[in-house]
């Protein structure tokens, strides 16, 4: 029996019909998600074939597959509650109210030296079906170049296979959207009518979201798995309000790459503690930040990290928890001209651009060898691959909109690790994205897109960088890259 770990970055996966699309332009799969009825016992069984730690999208995909075999018993342990029928979750427009609520783990970064020593909030769902239930519901397909980069870096099985049908988008007839498209067309960026792009990612496009077109409610992993209750699977058990404090390993006196993890220690909603035995495998799919916490309360696999807390490592793997990447976003209020008609508040338009300076910046700041070489060639050196994203969000009953600017591929990388010892499984992880640690992030290459009549951009380079450091925020639910356990 080995520990099998299914890496899922928190809130990264959103489900729409038969498509799983990675929220941060990372992953597109075409798994068919089988319908299954939830069975929510108050107490877990003493043993089962598979224990799945976490009740998010990746967890439920694995659970659905495993439970297709009637003789296989599957147990899902989810720390959050089953709140997915709550109207506040179903209304996609209310997602900002969920961040910081009791349905959010309320993670924070350490103070970021390149962001004027400010902490950043990192929302991550603490509810059944994970962050597909509380995120902003944005649907952005991954770029072909991004998928090819993953393949070249070692995940050779990753290919970009879109569903057989094509999705076409209307160009939009609101004057604000027309003006947005016109500005970018004048700068050489055409409107993209297809959501699934197989060549170029640059250009304008309307905002797309994982919202059911008939009911108007959020489309999340929960919608997919509850759809046919008559297909009940008695071999599938899901326990909510169940926090896995430890993965319990067999006694091992020497550091080894081969370890056994037959049991987990779980704390239930009523405070009772139980142990559950896995006859086959323990699958960790609890989201990227809490996911490492479960084993690391006993085991961090980094000797230098665990040594400070007196935790002996079972496997020394220096790469675990490293390479954390997240988008940073600069937001600028802009005044809108008087206009006729109404427009729905929220994110309304997107534009993906290249500045023309990517090759020079890559040559200056990216290594010509190793993983950076692949990123340099596939993304920054690719003429059809966008390097930055503009987004426009309107406000209710206001002539002020918010213009957001996000770097498409975050080149700064950080880490996430335990922050305390084994006696405190509820401790927050130490999350350090190291925003702006790569100088490309503060390169003033996008000024030509900004009309000075609407936005006052500092002409001095250092003043512009100071503005970015003082005002930049992190995006929600975009963390990727560090949850590698093998």
DSSP per-residue codes, 65-107: HHTTSTT--EEEEESSB--TT-HHHH-GGGHHHHTTSTTB--E
Task: Locate the domains of the chain by residue range.
Answer: 51-82+223-298, 139-206+329-409+443-472
Split at pLDDT 50, 70, 90, the class of 242 is very high
Contact 5, 288 (CB under 8 A): no
SS3 content of the chain, % helix, strand, coil (to 5): 20, 25, 55
- Percentage, residues of the chain above pLDDT 90: 14
Residue 422: predicted pLDDT: 52
What fold, for 51-82+223-298?
Answer: FAD/NAD(P)-binding domain (3.50.50)
Residue 444: predicted pLDDT: 59
Instruction: Judge if 51-82+223-298 and 139-206+329-409+443-472 fold alike in CATH terms.
Output: no
Contact 23, 132 (CB under 8 A): no
Split at pLDDT 50, 70, 90, the class of 36 is very low
**189-233 pLDDT, tens per residue?**
998 877 766 677 889 987 778 888 788 888 877 666 654 333 578
* Between 458 and 24, the higher pLDDT residue: 458
Q: State the Cα–Cα distance between residues 228 and 214, nearest whole angstrom.
A: 18
What fold, for 139-206+329-409+443-472?
Answer: Cholesterol Oxidase; domain 2 (3.30.410)
C-alpha dihedral sign at 52, 55, 57, 63: positive
Residue 447: predicted pLDDT: 60
Contact 302, 318 (CB under 8 A): yes
Lowest mean pLDDT among 69-83, 325-339, 446-460: 446-460
Lowest mean pLDDT among 124-133, 170-179, 262-271, 453-462: 453-462
Mean pLDDT calculated for residue range 5-21: 30
Residue 254: predicted pLDDT: 56
Residue 456: predicted pLDDT: 65
C-alpha dihedral sign at 212, 184, 362, 430: negative
Residues in a beta bridge with 299: none
Residue 216: predicted pLDDT: 83
Range from 233-247, 305-319, 375-389, 416-430 that averages highest in pLDDT: 233-247
- Read off the DSSP letter of residue 286: S
Mean pLDDT calculated for residue range 382-410: 83
Does residue 264 surpass a pLDDT of 90? yes
Q: Where are the alpha helices (DSSP H) in 245-339?
A: 290-296, 303-307
Mean of the per-residue pLDDT values of the chain: 75
CA–centroid distance for 68 within its chain: 27
Mean pLDDT calculated for residue range 38-61: 81
Split at pLDDT 50, 70, 90, the class of 12 is very low
Contact 375, 145 (CB under 8 A): no
Contact 470, 116 (CB under 8 A): yes
Joined tokens for residue 270: 């009523």
Contact 220, 129 (CB under 8 A): yes
Is the whole-model pTM more than 0.85? no
Split at pLDDT 50, 70, 90, the class of 359 is confident
């Amino acid at each position: 029996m080995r520990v099998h770990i299914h890496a899922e970055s928190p809130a990264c996966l959103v489900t729409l019909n038969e498509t799983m699309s990675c929220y941060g332009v990372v992953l597109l799969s075409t798994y068919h998600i089988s319908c299954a009825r939830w069975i929510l016992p108050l107490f877990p069984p003493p043993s089962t074939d598979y224990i799945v730690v976490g009740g998010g999208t990746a967890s439920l995909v694995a659970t659905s597959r495993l439970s297709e075999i009637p003789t296989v018993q599957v147990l899902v342990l989810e720390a959050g509650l089953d709140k997915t029928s709550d109207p506040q979750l179903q209304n996609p427009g209310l997602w900002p109210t969920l961040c910081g609520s009791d349905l959010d783990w309320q993670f924070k970064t350490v103070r970021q030296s390149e962001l004027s020593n400010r902490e950043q909030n990192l929302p991550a769902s603490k509810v059944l079906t994970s962050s597909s239930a509380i995120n902003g519901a944005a649907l952005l397909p991954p770029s072909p170049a991004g998928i090819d980069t993953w393949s070249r870096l070692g995940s050779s099985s990753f290919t970009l296979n879109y569903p057989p049908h094509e999705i076409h988008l209307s160009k939009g007839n609101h004057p604000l959207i027309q003006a947005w498209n016109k500005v970018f067309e004048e700068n050489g960026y055409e409107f993209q009518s297809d959501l699934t792009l197989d060549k170029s990612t640059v250009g304008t496009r309307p905002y797309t979201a994982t919202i059911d077109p008939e009911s108007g409610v959020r489309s999340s992993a929960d919608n997919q798995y509850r759809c046919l209750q008559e297909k009940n699977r008695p071999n599938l058990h899901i326990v909510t309000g169940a926090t896995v404090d430890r993965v319990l390993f067999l006694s091992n006196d020497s550091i080894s790459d081969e370890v056994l993890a037959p049991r987990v220690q779980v704390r239930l909603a009523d405070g009772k503690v139980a142990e559950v035995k896995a006859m086959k495998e323990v699958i960790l799919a609890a989201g990227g930040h809490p996911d490492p916490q479960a084993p690391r309360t006993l085991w961090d696999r980094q000797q230098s990290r665990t040594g400070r807390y007196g935790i002996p490592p079972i496997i020394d793997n220096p790469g675990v928890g490293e390479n954390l990447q997240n988008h940073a976003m600069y937001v600028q209020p802009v005044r809108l001209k008087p206009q006729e008609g109404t427009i729905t508040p929220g994110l309304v338009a997107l534009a993906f651009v290249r500045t023309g300076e990517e090759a020079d910046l890559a040559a200056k700041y990216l290594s010509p060898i190793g993983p950076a070489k692949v990123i340099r060639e596939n993304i920054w050196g690719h003429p059809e691959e966008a390097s930055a994203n503009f987004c426009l969000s309107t406000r209710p009953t206001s002539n002020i909109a918010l213009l957001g600017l996000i770097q498409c591929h975050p080149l700064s990388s950080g880490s996430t690790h335990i922050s305390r010892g084994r006696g405190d499984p509820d401790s927050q992880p130490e999350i350090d994205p190291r925003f702006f640690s790569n100088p490309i992030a503060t390169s003033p290459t996008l000024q030509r897109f900004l009309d000075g009549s609407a936005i006052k951009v500092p002409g001095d380079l250092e003043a512009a960088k100071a503005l970015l450091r003082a005002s930049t925020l992190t995006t929600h639910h975009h963390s990727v890259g560090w949850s590698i356990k093998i």
